[in-house]
Structure 1
């Protein structure tokens, strides 16, 4: 038996990207992570309904708003890659 699993055992890639980085005003502000809930067309452009937490303004409130697609950067996730790094919930530094 091989140590490497066959390719048929891999998860299929995600068809849609739901995770995004949200660029905020001013443009020098650090982007926040968001989750796309829905899409719509507004004139010639597309908008996404995005849920995110802005730690600087409202640290414990989920903000949901329609944003132009130009403000979003997709975060591609591969379910077949396991990150063995430290958990983001690990408070020890």
Structure 2
């Protein structure tokens, strides 16, 4: 695997990247006026500490979703037979 592919894979699998992107979109909706509920603005965008809390929540949820995806991917391969069956007469010790 080339270094560029490894870097791309690392970035795509990064919960910090996905959490930051989700929280950015969420706050863009709030500041764009799409989400105008008083309670949402008050409790999720009223102070800089609340911004940090929402970003940390989004990063945590992204990490959990990425781990759930890994779990599903690994679960599909549980029944797969990775080794060949033992040949008749046993294996060659050499």
Fold conserved between structures, TM > 0.5? no
Structure number with larger C-alpha Rg: 2
Provide the TM-score with structure 1 as the length reference: 0.26
Structure number with higher helix proportion: 2
TM-score (norm 2): 0.26
More strand by share: 1
Query: Comparing both chains, which one has the higher relative contact order based on Cα–Cα distances under 8 Å and sequence gaps of 6 or more?
Result: 2
